[in-house]
Structure 1
Amino acid sequence: MWDAIVNAMVKLFNGLHQFIVGLGVPAEREGLSYILAILIFTVIIRLLILPLNIKSTKSNARMQEIQPEMKKLQAKYKNDPQKLQLETSKLMKENNVSMFGGCLPTLLPLPILFALYRVFYSITPTPGADLSFLWINNVFAPSGFNMTGIILAILAALSTYIPSLLLSKSMPSPEEGGMNMSTMNIMMSGMMGFMSINFQPILVFYWIAGGVIQLIQTYFLNYLPAMKKQKAKEAAALASKPNKTTITTKKKKK
């Protein structure tokens, strides 16, 4: 099954590369043509998982809405974990909330990353072709602990951390003792930065491009709606407060 997936991805990527070359990119500039192919490949993958991102956003929004009910259940069945689990599952099912639906779009790019790791090692560039891109001498040769590798590692870490940071800002602040999302974001970003040192640069470009696309999606699907909702709440709270000028005027009349 895994080999079939890798073979399908090899065919897709090679087809995209031939398409790029057919558009007029010089055949000997394989570094540039392969990078353009991986960028298009990343866009295709992200478009395919976009419905999952939208579903995840809706699921997370419903999860936030039922938080008061979940807290009531936790207080009511604090001494009966089995009953608490049963009632929580029932509440989530009634509100069409999935426990894992919010995590799937975040985790899905990882197996694709490892599949691409095999894909790129199975590709044989044309002997003597120019495999450079920007400051990178060879997009298929792992950079290691040098300036090229360090720059790619920093970009990989930032492209992981910034979308996660934006997502955490669009969610309610966790209560004391809850999960520390900031620590998890830093750990995940550091892990990706460290792993990228041993990855081929073209594979790191896939991850960076995916991070940029994820950042855009997070802004429009999560952050922007959350900020609009927050402003609406603040406006409603402000409108419900008594007007000090009106109160003062009434007191003077008395």
Structure 2
Amino acid sequence: MTAIDSGSGPSGVRPLAGRRALITGASRGIGADIARAYAAAGADLVLTARDADPLQQAARRLADEHGVRTAVLAADLGEADVADRLWDEASTLLEGPGPLDVLVNNAGISHPETVDRLDTAHFDQTLRVNLRAPALLAARAGAAMAEHGGGAIVTIASAAALRPLAEHYAYSTAKAGLVMATRTLALELGPRGVRANSICPTVVLTDMGQTVWGDQPEKAAPMLARIPQSRFAQPREVSDVAVWLASDAASMVNGAEIPVDGGYLIS
């Protein structure tokens, strides 16, 4: 199911004006805030998640508020062939020269559990959604971008990709693999104009993050004690970095892992 909206919104110089971006997991949390930030920066958007209804509402709102084109594409990253189908269809939804200019690989899931209680089905699902699908999607997107002069791939990874986190065995494994996949794309496709970088946040206070961490002081306290800034991240602090990485201001940034963690990784 697809839908396209175009609205009249603020004009002027915006860092992503004229660019077209695919954002996965865009119906809520970090993905929804990145969609807001990209629209405000002038990018036309293809928003994808499993459920099209909240995406369509968001797409209409962003089009009206920011004067950008928006398209919606429902997709389940757990499906075997989703990467090829998603990129091919997304590339047809917004008219323009060549493929889309930016991919934001944001969608992900987590099943917190200790290693001794590891569920095989949870492990397999986490690797399908958090590693297999985004890595294949990024490879497909990066190859298409390289054929048409370049583009940007922004991977929303995690501090758990760089520092192990208890009860996140599958999640940390998948995110670490995705970071390495992003580095490899940067190495192979950088000479052809494609930049690929990862953002590695600590806990982000989305609605879900607030429920799991912000509303449970006893659980949050040990984690906060390891963050020198003594707080968790806000979605906007991730989104601002995602905008920068897709813009010309980051034209020499390739193959990087950028922590948005208040110093967690150095503590």
Do they superpose with TM above 0.5?
no
Q: TM-score, normalised by structure 2?
A: 0.33
- Computing the radius of gyration from Cα coordinates, the structure with the larger value is 1
Q: Name the structure with the higher strand share.
A: 2
- TM-score for both structures, normalised by structure 1: 0.34
